[in-house]
Amino acid sequence: MRRLPVADPGRPVDRSAARYLCWLVRRSRLTTAAAVGLAVTWMGFQAMVPAIVGQAIDAAAQRRGTALLGWGLILLFVGVAHALAGIARHRFAVANWLGASFRTVQVTVRHANLLGATLPRRLDAGEVVAIGTSDLTHIGGAIDIAARSLGGLIAIVTVTVLLLHVSVPLGLVVLLGVPVLLLVAGALIRPLHRQQEAYRRQQGRLTGNAADLVAGLHVIRGVGGEQAMADRYATESRALRDAGVRTARVEALLEAAQVLLPGIFLVLVTWLGARFALQQRITVGEMVSFYAYAAFLVAPMRQLTEAIDKLTRGHVSAQRVVTMLGVRTDLPDPAAPVPLPRGELADPESRVVIAAGRLTAIAAADPVDAARVADRLGRYADGATLDGLPLAAAALSEVRRRILVVENEARLFSGRLRSDLDPAGDGALPEALEAAAATEIVEALPAGVQTRVAERGRSFSGGQQQRLRLARALLADPEIMILVEPTNAVDPHTEELIAERLRAARAGRTTVICTSSPLVLNRTDHVFYLEQGRVVASGTHHDLLVAEPRYAAMVSRGDLP
């Protein structure tokens, strides 16, 4: 069986939720076909058991020992085959469930990476969180139940044919009763999913509000709005709780109906079978078979109602995924992308030209201007060129692969520190930590690089996070690295160590540092000084200190080297 997750999930069909679910089925068509075949076989063998038992009882009643032995052996064979088919069916069902979930994770994460900064502007954080939690389960469940429900349907058809062969009235009861039960269950499922969809939307909004509240807690406290925000969050939480209770009521009603309605059906078939047996219209063995069939039909009928429920849930969840996949980046790929050349990286708007293979600094009277240049050089905004070719003419994925922008908004992820810094596991982690002056940070941790990182790296100080992020960027080893204020949260001694080691670590590769630190500027090959977003002077750090008083005044806000 194929190992999961697969290397390439493929390009999803995101025109509608139904088409997305069908795409998932097609991507796992072999395992889906196997699951369908095994489900039909599994339920088919199970459907044969009541008939075999009935025949064995009739043989025993008529004292036909040879026939009884034959039916017993057949029952043993069917039981073993049923067990083996059930084990194999479950294995393929789990594979389909996991395959659909993994593919959904892969395509959504890939699209989130493509959207970049566009994602939080277009979708609430709660919507994205919901995809990674409940929606994956519902989509996987929909793919799984699609195969199992087909087996249940085949079993019901098989039993109906057998019952019609022995007794037309009993067969008609099954033939007419099953659609009625499904219609009643469908009528209950429709309001349930309206409630569930409303609940998930409300849950997504509340999750997003919680994330915003935590991120802005210091500001909220500063303006005295902590209690007002807490009261608002409590009100929204109570509203979500009430929506959850309303959803649970409908769910409880559906669960009760899934037990009650097949139970009523079982009583009806058993009562009719008993009357026919008393009237000698059927044999005792056939009576036992009818009862067994009625009891057996409870499982496939409940499976069909479960299928309606899970397919509807899966459709709602798939719609959320499709909505996310439908969000387009502010920086779309060109219709015919061209390969990026090698050469000078330039920003015509500011007149910054970065020579290949050198360590270049951008210092600005207003640090926001330097950050804007970094955005253009990394194609988070259009305008920059590489060897004269606009970055917008190349595929965004190639730009991201060759140009890495490291800014202070980047986060450390939850999990073990090693997997956060070096997810591929093939980098020179000790060397990167040394270059970022972060070795002592790791050595002070209880389990070293195996220590678990708290959410957003909050267990580290701002300066520690900055050094660990720099180590992660150095491990990525991009062709072009753009660092935005990489040392503004560390002490001068550490800043000087980083400046010295960074130059050695990036020797021969293009590196751009947006900074106003004289300790860092002193170790660069070339400095561009910007005012109002344009270059007004350039040269070495020492040349600019002598020739440009405004530059000297800007860098002297710190300690001169």
Inter-residue contact 97 to 144 (CB < 8 Å): yes
3-state secondary structure 428-465: CHHHHHHHCCCHHHHHCCCCHHHCEECHHHCCCCHHHH
Tell me the angle at which helices 284-325 and 29-61 cross, rounded to the nearest 10 degrees.
170
Please, are residues 42 and 85 in contact by the beta-carbon 8 Å criterion? yes
Host H or E run for residue 507:
none
Kindly state the average pLDDT of the residues 409-419. Answer: 80
> Could you tell me if 445 and 417 are in contact, meaning their C-beta atoms sit under 8 angstroms apart?
yes
Between CA 543 and CA 528 the distance in angstroms is: 12
More confident residue, 409 or 397: 397
pLDDT of residue 559: 40
| Residue 222 pLDDT level (bands cut at 50, 70, 90) | low
Residue indicated by tokens 């490291």? 406
Structure tokens at 49: 């058991």
Radius of gyration of the chain (CA): 34
Query: Cα separations (Å) of 196 from 16, 111, 141?
Result: 20, 26, 16
* pLDDT above 90 for 299: no
pLDDT tens-digit profile of 34-51?
A: 888 888 888 778 777 877
Mean pLDDT of the chain: 83
With a cut of 80, say whether residue 353 has pLDDT above it.
Answer: yes
Burial of 508 (0-12, 13-18, 19+ CB in 10 A): exposed
The answer to whether residue 510 scores a pLDDT higher than 90 is yes
Helix (H) / strand (E) containing 295: helix 284-325
Element (H, E) at 535: strand 534-539
DSSP summary character for residue 422: -
Other CB atoms within a 10 A radius of the CB of residue 256 amount to 11
d(CA 66, CA 48): 20
**Residue matched to tokens 């007794």:** 167
Sequence-distant (≥ 6) Cβ neighbours of residue 108 within 8 angstroms: 131, 132, 321, 324, 325
CB 10 within 8 A of CB 325: no
As a whole number of angstroms, the distance between CA 506 and CA 487 comes to 16
Residue 317's identity, in one-letter code, is: S
- Can you tell me the distance from the alpha carbon of 52 to that of 549, in angstroms, rounded to the nearest whole number? 100
Q: How confident is the model at residue 265 (pLDDT cuts 50, 70, 90)?
A: confident
Decide if 437 contacts 501 (C-beta within 8 A).
Answer: yes
The dihedrals phi and psi of 60, each to the nearest 5 degrees, come to -70, -40
- Does the structure show a pLDDT above 50 at 560? no
Predicted confidence at residue 212, as pLDDT, reads 59
- Cβ proximity of 59 and 67 under 8 Å: yes
Q: Is 205 exposed, middle or buried (0-12, 13-18, 19+ CB in 10 A)?
A: middle
pLDDT of residue 348: 96
pLDDT digits (tens, 9 = 90+) for 150-173: 777 777 777 777 777 767 777 777
Strands (E), 307-407: 345-347, 352-354, 359-364, 385-386, 389-390, 403-406
CA atoms within 13 A on the CB side of 513: 28
Rounded mean pLDDT of 220-225?
58
- The string of pLDDT tens digits covering residues 172-217 is 777 777 777 767 766 766 676 676 667 666 766 666 666 555 555 5
Angle between helices 17-27 and 65-115 (to 10 degrees): 120
CA–CA distance, 443 with 419 (Å, rounded to integer): 16
Structure confidence at residue 404 as a pLDDT band (50, 70, 90): very high
Judged by DSSP in three states, 8 sits in coil
**pLDDT of 241 higher than 50:** yes
Percent of the chain beyond pLDDT 70?
87
What pLDDT, in 10s, does the model give residues 69-100?
Answer: 998 899 899 989 989 998 998 899 888 899 89
Q: Which residue has the higher pLDDT, 477 or 230?
A: 477
Split at pLDDT 50, 70, 90, the class of 558 is very low
Among residues 484, 480, 332, 510, the alpha carbon closest in space to that of 401 is found at 480
Longest dimension (CA), the chain: 117
Domains in the chain and their CATH numbers?
A: 17-325 (1.20.1560.10), 345-555 (3.40.50.300)
Residue 517 pLDDT level (bands cut at 50, 70, 90):
very high
Assign 499 a pLDDT band (cuts: 50, 70, 90). Answer: very high
Q: Chain centroid to CA 380: how far?
A: 24
- Provide the pLDDT for residue 160: 76
Structure tokens at 13: 């069909």
Look at residue 300 in the predicted model and tell me its pLDDT: 77
Query: Which 3-state string (H, E, C) describes 327-348?
Result: CCCCCCCCCCCCCCCCCCEEEC
Those residues whose C-beta lies under 8 Å from the C-beta of residue 135, and which sit 6 or more positions away, are 104, 317, 318, 320, 321
pLDDT at 109 over 80: yes
pLDDT at 1: 54
How far is residue 179's CA from residue 185's CA, in Å, rounded to a whole number? 10
Is 352 in a helix, a strand, or coil? strand
Number of residues that this document lists for the chain? 561
Query: Residue 426 has what pLDDT?
Result: 66
Mean pLDDT across the stretch 485-512?
Answer: 93
Spatial CB neighbours of 443, under 8 Å, sequence gap ≥ 6: none
8-state DSSP, 131 = I
Residue 158: the pLDDT is 76
pLDDT at 145 over 90: no
Q: How far is CA 453 from the centre of its chain?
A: 21
Q: What is the pLDDT of residue 518?
A: 93
Q: How far apart are CA 129 and CA 260, in angstroms?
A: 36
Give me the pLDDT at residue 190, please: 67
> In which residue are the tokens 């059906």 written?
265
CA 207 vs CA 46, 138, 202, 240, 503: distances in Å: 46, 19, 9, 11, 43
